[in-house]
């Protein structure tokens, strides 16, 4: 996926192996980073730990070093590429270290050099020996990498990078945006909503009971998490990919069954409600259910999974930003007078 986003071409198997080997060569975490992560209070939110760890690596930025020494702007992409490759190589180990330190008594699992990037991430988490979990990680890391440049994390990385900030500064900032409840945090909000539903109306609710629960949610002025999308106007294909995985590997999982029933009834209710531009499920409607099934029951870590994946997309974009020589972003501003005139014109239009 990284090769595709960076080049526009689908890689051969040999090219995938070459990237895997390159990332493996760069994957070792420096001692200063381990010491830093161990100094962070263990009850710090995993996304905060993740963002801080990425930022701490900035001391090794090749782009920052070469920029200080002086280089032609046409060469900016080259050290940016090196930084990106170094970050991506280390992200699974960083995320797994945070998970094991926060939830598993600081007992860590060494990397398996025989495994690929996503499979090794699953291995280092140590939640299950089921080989299907490795396949889930591979799927998850592909599906969440990127979908367009206007989402908060992708745009944040582009915005910060437009100041010629290096990849570490840019990705750390992007992760801070991803941590918001209207963005990457949404996957855990979906699972929490489903678990609360099952607690209130039963572990095997009927479609009628679910319909009533959805109406109660909407009438209380709340949203149905996992439904709607700022861009898509149909069922998110990433939702369908996860659903197909679940039908193959965990068709009888009780939470998956509830997710499926919500999928059957929610779109019609949202269309009748009339306020949702897109009544169909998005990627967040399914991902938490899959993680929970394989033993990742710690909600707060879900967005870290998202972050490891999203890095593939935003960092590929960052290399192209430097290659294309894109300028610094400077959004237009308005005055207080303009705001007052705008409000007055809107009130006049309503009248």
183 is annotated as an active-site residue: yes
Tell me if 247 sits within 8 A of 225, measured CB to CB.
no
Q: Which residues on adjacent β-strands are paired with residue 281?
A: 227
Burial class for 343, CB neighbours closer than 10 Å (0-12, 13-18, 19+):
exposed
Per the structure block, which two tokens stand in for 81? 């590429």
Contacts of 164 (CB under 8 A, 6+ apart): 67, 76, 328
Q: Which residues touch 43 (CB under 8 Å, ≥6 apart)?
A: none
Query: One of 123, 144, 158, 229 is an active-site residue; which one?
Result: 229
Q: Which DSSP string corresponds to 82-116?
A: HHHHHHHHHHHHHHHHHHHHHHSTT------TTS-
- Taking CA atoms, 196 is separated from 122, 175, 255, 294, in Å, by 28, 28, 11, 20
Catalytic (active site) residue 300: no
Catalytic residue (choose from 45, 108, 155, 183):
183
Q: Which residue has the tokens 């280390």?
A: 90
Alpha-carbon span 243 to 74, nearest angstrom: 45
Q: Which of 116, 146, 236, 284 is catalytic?
A: 284
10 Å CB burial of residue 298 (0-12, 13-18, 19+) is middle
Torsion-angle region of 327 (φ positive above 0: left; ψ -120 to 50: alpha; else: beta)? beta
Catalytic (active-site) positions: 183, 229, 284
């Amino acid at each position: 996926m990284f090769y595709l986003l960076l080049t526009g071409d689908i890689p051969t198997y040999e090219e995938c192996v070459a990237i895997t080997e390159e990332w493996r060569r760069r994957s070792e975490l420096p001692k200063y980073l381990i010491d830093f992560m161990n100094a962070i209070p263990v009850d710090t939110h995993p996304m905060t730990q993740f963002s801080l760890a990425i930022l701490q690596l900035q001391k090794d930025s090749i782009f920052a070093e070469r920029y200080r020494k002086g280089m032609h702007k046409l060469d900016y992409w080259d050290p940016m590429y090196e930084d990106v490759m170094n970050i991506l190589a280390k992200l699974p180990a960083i995320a797994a270290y945070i998970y094991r330190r926060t939830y598993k008594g600081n007992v860590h699992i060494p990397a398996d050099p025989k495994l690929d990037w996503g499979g090794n991430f699953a291995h280092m988490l140590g939640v299950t020996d089921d080989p299907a979990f490795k396949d889930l990680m591979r799927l998850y890391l592909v599906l969440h990498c990127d979908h367009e440049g206007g989402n908060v994390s992708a745009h944040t990385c582009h915005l910060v990078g437009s100041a010629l900030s290096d990849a570490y500064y840019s990705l750390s900032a992007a992760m801070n945006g991803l941590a918001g409840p209207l963005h990457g945090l949404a996957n855990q909000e979906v699972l929490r909503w489903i678990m609360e539903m099952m607690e209130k109306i039963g572990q095997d609710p009927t479609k009628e009971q679910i319909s009533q629960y959805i109406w109660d949610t909407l009438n209380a002025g709340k949203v149905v998490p996992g439904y709607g999308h700022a861009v898509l106007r149909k069922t998110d294909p990433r939702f369908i990919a996860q659903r197909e995985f679940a039908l193959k590997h965990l068709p009888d999982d009780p939470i998956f069954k509830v997710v499926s029933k919500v999928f059957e009834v929610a779109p019609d209710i949202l269309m009748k409600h009339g306020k949702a531009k897109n009544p169909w499920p998005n990627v967040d409607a399914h991902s938490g259910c899959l993680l929970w099934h394989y033993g990742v029951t710690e909600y707060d870590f879900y967005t870290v999974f998202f972050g490891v994946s999203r890095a593939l997309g935003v960092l590929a974009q960052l290399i192209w930003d430097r290659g294309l020589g894109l300028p610094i972003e400077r959004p237009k501003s308005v005055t207080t007078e303009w705001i007052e005139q705008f409000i007055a014109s809107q009130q006049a239009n309503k009248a």
